[in-house]
Amino acid sequence: MSEPVPNKPVSIAVLTILYGTSVASLRRSLAAFDNSVRLGREAGLCTEFTYAMGDASERPVLTSADLLELQELCLHIDNATYTHFGENTGTSKGQNRLSRATSSDLILLCNPDVVPDGRALWRMAASMNVATVGLVEAKQLPVEHPKDYALGTGYTSWGSGAFSLVRRDVFQEVGGFDEETFFLYCDDVDLSWRIREAGYDVLIQPAAVVFHDKKLSAIGGWQPTDAERYYSAEAALLIAHKWSRGEIVSDLLDRFEQGDDENLRRARTTFLERREHGRLPEPRDPNHEIGVFQDGNYARHRYTL
């Protein structure tokens, strides 16, 4: 089985948002990216590579010395840039900003603690040899995302913002992330669905692997933090509203109200306030041709996690 490569050399900009990120994890991630670029350059696949960091933390997580140290790791990466936003932009607004500050054929949406395998990027880029592919996601390790995809083609409902490659022209065509609506979660689901709405395919290439650590409980269950529970609940309401699933919104509002999870109650209150002040997005996809809402997920899942 020969190694797939993009039809022509490409330029890539990695857009990653820092928020209290440790320098150690950045160092590890950047070293892995630099290794990817080494392999890409050796195979003549890469014209230019930029690693753009946007810092949404209250105080900068990097000192000048840290930045210098990170840049020194970049033996093959052309540019490693760092911007402290001075506000908590979340991922949507932050990555929109970084997209405007960079130029490349492809944009890599990426969490700052993700470590890519050396071939992952190029396998994903090769998946874009078909012009209709707008977004390609990698498979995450050590806990794979349970959403289903089609064997053979890799078609899937949405691609994770933790590590997805997007054509820049497609990203711009759909207007990037909906930063007015989504702060942290579901921004990637919404982006994927708008890409599909615009006629492009979203797929996963599971042979492109990246490491994105997770913690499982002693019985193998997921352990979300309070912040994850709050923001994912808020995003769940917003995306159901935006993609014309009023019945799901009502159901979630009821459940959040009846439950005893303070995070969910708070998410409910925020949503109702937005609705009251007319700050909700215009619903789309009235015939439910794009958005997938199944068992509380945004794709059919192969298993629960």
Binding site for another protein (CB under 8 A): 1, 4, 24, 28, 31-32, 34-35, 39, 115, 117-119, 123, 126-127, 139, 141-144, 146, 149, 151-154, 203-207, 209-211, 213-220, 302-305
Q: Which two tokens stand for residue 176?
A: 């990037």
Distance, CA of 1 to CA of 4 (rounded, Å):
9
Minimum CB separation of residue 186 from another protein in Å reads 23
**Closest CB to another protein among residues 123, 194:** 123
Relative to beta strand 106-110, strand 79-84 is unpaired
Which CB sits closer to another protein, 118 or 281? 118
- Could you tell me which residues come within 8 angstroms of residue 48 by beta carbon, excluding any fewer than 6 positions away? 11, 12, 78, 104
Minimum separation from the CB atom of position 160 to another protein (A):
15
| C-alpha dihedral sign at 226, 137, 134, 193 | negative
Task: Please report how close the Cβ of residue 218 comes to another protein at its closest, in angstroms.
Answer: 5
| Cα 39 to chain centroid, rounded | 24
Least separation in angstroms between residue 77's CB and another protein is 13
Tell me whether residue 65 or residue 219 sits nearer to another protein (CB atom).
219
Decide whether 37 or 264 has the Cβ nearer to another protein.
37
Least spacing, CB of residue 129 vs another protein, in Å: 9
- Closest approach, Cβ 263 to another protein, in A, equals 24
- Exposure of 23 by Cβ count < 10 A (0-12 exposed, 13-18 middle, 19+ buried)? middle
**Smaller CB separation from another protein, 156 or 244:** 156
Cβ within 8 Å of residue 52, ≥6 positions away: 13, 14, 15, 16, 79, 81, 83, 98, 101, 102
Instruction: Considering the complex, state which of residue 34 and residue 105 has its C-beta at the smaller distance from another protein.
Output: 34
∠ CA 238-223-138, nearest 5°, is: 70
What SS3 class is residue 82?
strand
